[in-house]
Amino acid sequence: MNTLSLPAPAKLNLMLHILGRRPDGYHELQTLFQFLDYGDELTLTTREDGQICLQTDLSGVTHDDNLIVKAARLLQSRSNCKFGVTIQLTKRLPMGGGIGGGSSDAATTLLGLNHLWQLNLDQKTLASLGLSLGADVPIFIHGQAAFAEGVGEHLTPVTLEEPWYLVVIPPVSVSTREIFSDPELTRDTPAITVRTVLEQGCRNDCQPVVARRYPEIDNALIWLGNFTSARLTGTGSCIFGAFPSRAEADKVALQLPGSLQGFVARGSNVSMLHRRLQNPT
């Protein structure tokens, strides 16, 4: 097998608490991740010449700065692999949406090439590599819904309900760095336990800051709030609401205003990437 097509699923942050800022500038977090059965798609084809070639251009991102290329080169370097890869990307997840597009693409690249190049590296090693690319990459490497702490690298697997979600995409891209630099961001939320999160639910500390800075997101939260509890994922820009059935989520999706895009997807405790890797095609 020298070609492998794999999904790069979206994720939701069902809650996000910011406990404080570390001396290195990163923030201590507590967050709850769940995957969606919706995402990008990558097709990886082995090359004999050692070159890493991403054939799909992304607006505003150079070839060498793309996390997919960085992930492939990192894995190639750390494993001393002589192979290269040609990668085609079908992009569905918005950039700056808070649903993990770039991080998920990087994780799929690492897992896919580990399989394709027959490197036999374990998940712990791949997650460590992924963390150097972005705080959210390890969750996609592990592929299990989880309560995350630290900067997002300390993971406790959880089993959650798997409702249908309507994810709404406002016409803006949010800079994570900008939100975490905002002086009004809450940075002193007390730490809580996994049990408290699962029993009581929680909030997203970034939501008030994002809603204040981006009226388009605030308006989307108000609109979706007419139908269900509307929440921001990560630092945004995407927002989401849960529904008990696809039919109910679809019904609301059909009422989206012209200024908003969105999609309906099922929550999943196991990443569809990991399900595909068990039966690769």
Residues annotated catalytic, as ranges: 11, 136
CA dihedral over 47, 68, 280, 119, signed as positive or negative = positive
The β-bridge partners of 168 are 239, 262
What whole-number distance in Å separates Cα of residue 5 and Cα of residue 41?
A: 7
**Residues 265, 254: contact at Cβ < 8 Å?**
no
Question: Parallel, antiparallel, or unpaired: how do β-strands 52-54 and 84-90 relate?
Answer: parallel
Give the helix/strand (H/E) hosting 239. strand 239-243
**Residues 139, 148: contact at Cβ < 8 Å?**
yes
Amino acid making up residue 19: L
What whole-number distance in Å separates Cα of residue 281 and Cα of residue 276?
A: 8
Closest CA to 230 of 197, 261, 194, 203: 203
HSE-up (13 A, CA, CB side) for residue 203:
10
- Residue 77 is classified by DSSP as H
| Helix 123-131, helix 67-79: angle, nearest 10 | 130
Give the chain's largest Cα–Cα span. Answer: 55
Which residues are CB-neighbours of 251 under 8 A, at least 6 positions away?
Answer: none
